[in-house]
Structure 1
Amino acid sequence: MSRISIPRYAMALAHVASLRSEDPYRKVGAAALDFDNRVIATAYNGLAPGFDAPAGFWDDREARQKFMLHAEINLCSLFRRGEVKLVASTTMPCTACMQTLCAYGVREIYYREQYHASDAPEIARLYGIQLERVTDFPTAG
């Protein structure tokens, strides 16, 4: 029996993390592994920790978007610069998240869903970061 690859493993972890998102429209999860492929952290998109959304908050997707914390930003809050080799995210990082991942020294980024409004591919090329789509990973369903 062969083991799954590290990118597929990390993507499965990111998928499970996404299940914790309270966002009814877009559930994004992320996982960070260190240079020994140990899990450092998992995170998901949502509101700031401890904040309870007021009634009707989730009804207007456009109005609430500026308050949402992206999974990658939440993830970066859980580790130090240079501590993480790779990040897997269920969605390609947006431009700002890609810039943040670069600032934290992440060298490999894997994602499942394409995000066309992102400059992530161009940023990855400039900084020599591996950015790769992974769509085949284990899930329970």
Structure 2
Amino acid sequence: MDKQPTTSAERISIPQYAMALAHIASLRSEDPFRKVGAAALDFDNRVVGTAYNGLAPGFDAPVGFWDNRDDRQKFMLHAEVNLCSLFKRGEVKLIASTTMPCTACMQTLCAYGIQEIYYGEVYHESAAPEIAETYGIKFEQITDYPLG
């Protein structure tokens, strides 16, 4: 049976596509309390990379490490930081993150010249909306995407 071609009306948007990729990346997080994923797309909307929050590569957490969220939080690398390790400044147009970037991650994204940021969950302790407005970065919550 031949499948009918997808029409542009049925095609998901680039932000939805990026958010779905970020969601899939979040499933790799080892953090039992908060799983965050992120995806980066270049100026042709090609995927540059995906990342998730977790520990530094090669670090094996000792027994009991995950038991106390406050104690282990300082060792966690945020998804956005892990993502920025995959590209150089000016190579990426947009990122999508399953959670709004924290203030420090938003500052990092600004330093990398990101022009558009899409996020799923709101993070109330972040100055990201104000930073985005100041620097003229498109900043938008996306909750309607595949897997979301």
Query: Do both share a fold (TM > 0.5)?
Result: yes
Task: State the distance in 2 between where 1:126 and 1:41 align.
Answer: 27
Q: Does 1:55 align with 2:63?
A: yes
- Residue 33, structure 1, aligned to residue 41, structure 2: yes
Query: What are the Cα deviations for residues 92-140 of structure 1, in whole angstroms up to 9, with x where unaligned?
Result: 000000000000000000000000000000000000001100000002x
Q: Which amino acid in the other structure matches residue 21 of structure 1?
A: S
Instruction: Give the 4+ runs in structure 1 shifted more than 2 A.
Output: none
Q: TM-score scaled by structure 2?
A: 0.93
Match in the other structure for 2:96: 88
Could you say which residue in structure 2 is the equivalent of 1:120?
Answer: 128
Which residue pairs with 1:6 in the alignment?
14
Equivalent residue number for residue 116 of structure 2: 108
Aligned to 1:23: 31
Shift of 1:71: 0.1
Give 5+ residue unaligned stretches, structure 1.
none
Structure 2 counterpart of 1:131 = 139
Query: How far 1:3 sits from its partner (Å)?
Result: 1.1
Query: For the residues of structure 2 that align with 1:65 and 1:112, how far apart are their CA atoms?
Result: 21
Percent identity, aligned pairs only, is 80
Distance apart, 1:26 and its partner CA: 0.1
Q: 2:27 is aligned with what amino acid?
A: L
- Taking structure 1 as the reference length, the TM-score comes to 0.98
Distance 1:136 1:127 in 2: 26
- How many residues were matched structurally? 140
Give the RMSD, CA atoms, in angstroms. Answer: 0.8
1:20-39 deviation per Cα after TM superposition (whole angstroms, max 9, x unaligned) = 00000000000000000000
